[in-house]
């Protein structure tokens, strides 16, 4: 930078420390762009417009994209640690949802605990994605999910989402008039309101724990009785002589699932900290769906991966009661606050 003095001499100045270009945005400006665009799902165009309206900064759309990529680069190792922390938990929630990337269907995979959120994007939905993302196969605790087959193949304990069961049962009751479905809804809903006082410390159970275990046995007996009634009303379709299994009704498929995986259905009553539903993971995919609705799709896989990194970090810090904007400011200063993994 040069200027001519009144005396005629040419003076050359130096950029302040940390300023490396003629036009450069500081940590707070970059954090604001990332917070608006990637955490709050504001479009790139509107993010640039808001920067002008709120702060008087003329920001290009390319700069908004560049800020997101820069933040993701800084936070990559932190989000990897979040993923490792998630699969080290005793109870983990998992889900996946479709995501449009470069005009093709990809899949957003999410892992969630009460304090951690991890997201990853992959072209595949099942086992191939699990292998590539390299997290779920490490998990050894209780995995809460919707019963999708690739999850069941994982070598860990499983807990099925009963919100899904209630929705299917409601359909059978209201659309097909199957009375047993109403009985099952009432039973599962009643069970979900029981306080879990089961003895989980390996010591001799006290009176309250013994009483609770007797309650669980009674509820399981009622459960089996309702399934017997349901099976009688929905017999399995006989073989047609063709190759493969004969197609079954929705009711028959649900009855079979509730019977075969009954321990996973009831794990919320037999193991501490296992919830009745998989709502934690389902809530995690809501903001990405909002982002997709606003933007239509991600133009590149790198853009989708950038979103996953930023959103994983922001959602985790929000769960841990940290000011997300200030955390992003610190990130662009080079010292991102680290989440607690305990």
Largest CA distance in the chain: 104
What digits encode the pLDDT tens for the residues 255-303?
999 999 999 999 999 998 999 999 999 999 999 999 999 888 899 999 9
The larger pLDDT score, comparing residue 59 to residue 201, is at 59
Sign of CA dihedral 191, 194, 200, 206: negative
Q: CA 172, 278, 233 angle in degrees (round to 5)?
A: 20
Q: Classify 157 as helix, strand or coil.
A: strand
CA distance linking residue 169 with residue 95, whole number of Å: 21
**Tokens standing for residue 206:** 């006290």
pTM of the model: 0.88
Q: Residue 269 carries which DSSP code?
A: H
The domain segmentation of the chain, as residue ranges, is 1-142+285-342, 166-236+247-262
Residue 199 to residues 203, 204, 205, 209, 213, Cα–Cα distance (Å): 7, 8, 5, 6, 9
Average pLDDT in the chain? 92
DSSP state at residue 298 = B
Q: In this predicted model, what pLDDT tens digit does every residue of 82-121 receive, in sequence order?
A: 999 999 999 999 999 999 999 999 999 999 999 999 999 9
Quote the CA–CA distance of 324 and 73 in Å, as a whole number.
Answer: 17
**pLDDT, position 236:** 85
pLDDT of 42 strictly over 70: yes
What pLDDT, on a 0 to 100 scale, did the predictor assign at position 241?
65
Q: Which residue has the higher pLDDT, 112 or 21?
A: 112
Give the pLDDT confidence of 127-149 residue by residue, as tens digits.
Answer: 999 999 999 999 999 999 999 99
- Tens-place pLDDT, residues 3-16: 788 787 887 777 66
Residue 69 CA to residue 79 CA, distance in Å, equals 14
Tokens of 68: 């997101």
Rounded to an integer, what distance in angstroms lies between the CA atom of residue 169 and that of residue 147? 15
> How many Å apart are CA 238 and CA 228, to the nearest integer?
18
Residue that has been written with the tokens 């073989």 in this structure: 239
Concatenated DSSP letters of 176-200: H--HHHHHHHHHHHHHHTS------
């Amino acid at each position: 930078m040069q200027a001519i003095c009144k005396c005629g001499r040419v003076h050359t100045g130096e950029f302040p420390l940390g300023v490396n270009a003629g036009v450069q945005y500081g940590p707070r400006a970059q954090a604001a762009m990332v917070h608006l665009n990637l955490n709050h799902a504001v479009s790139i165009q509107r993010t640039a417009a808001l920067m002008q309206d709120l702060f008087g900064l003329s920001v290009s759309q390319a700069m908004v994209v560049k800020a997101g990529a820069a933040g993701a680069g800084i936070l990559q190792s932190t989000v990897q640690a979040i993923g490792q922390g998630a699969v080290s938990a005793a109870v983990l929630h998992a889900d996946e949802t479709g995501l449009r990337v470069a005009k093709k269907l990809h899949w957003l995979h999410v892992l969630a605990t009460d304090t951690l959120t991890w997201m990853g994007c992959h072209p595949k939905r099942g086992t191939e994605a699990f292998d590539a993302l390299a997290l779920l196969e490490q998990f050894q605790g209780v995995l809460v999910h919707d019963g999708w087959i690739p999850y069941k193949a994982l070598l860990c304990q499983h807990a099925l989402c009963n919100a899904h069961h209630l929705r299917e049962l409601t359909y059978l009751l209201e659309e097909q008039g199957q009375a047993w479905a109403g009985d099952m809804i009432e039973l599962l809903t009643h069970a979900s309101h029981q306080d879990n006082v089961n003895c989980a410390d390996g010591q001799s159970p006290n009176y309250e724990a013994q009483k609770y275990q007797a309650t669980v046995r009674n509820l399981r007996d009622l459960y089996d009785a309702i399934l017997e009634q349901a099976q009688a009303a929905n017999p399995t379709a006989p073989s047609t002589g063709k190759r493969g299994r004969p197609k079954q009704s929705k009711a028959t498929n649900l009855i079979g699932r509730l019977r075969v995986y009954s321990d996973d259905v009831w794990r919320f009553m037999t193991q501490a900290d296992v919830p009745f539903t998989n709502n934690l993971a389902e809530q995690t995919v809501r903001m990405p769906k909002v982002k997709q609705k606003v933007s239509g799709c991600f133009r590149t896989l790198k853009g989708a991966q950038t979103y996953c990194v930023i959103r994983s970090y922001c959602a985790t810090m929000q769960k841990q009661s940290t000011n997300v904007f200030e955390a992003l400011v610190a990130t662009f200063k080079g010292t991102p606050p680290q989440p607690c993994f305990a």
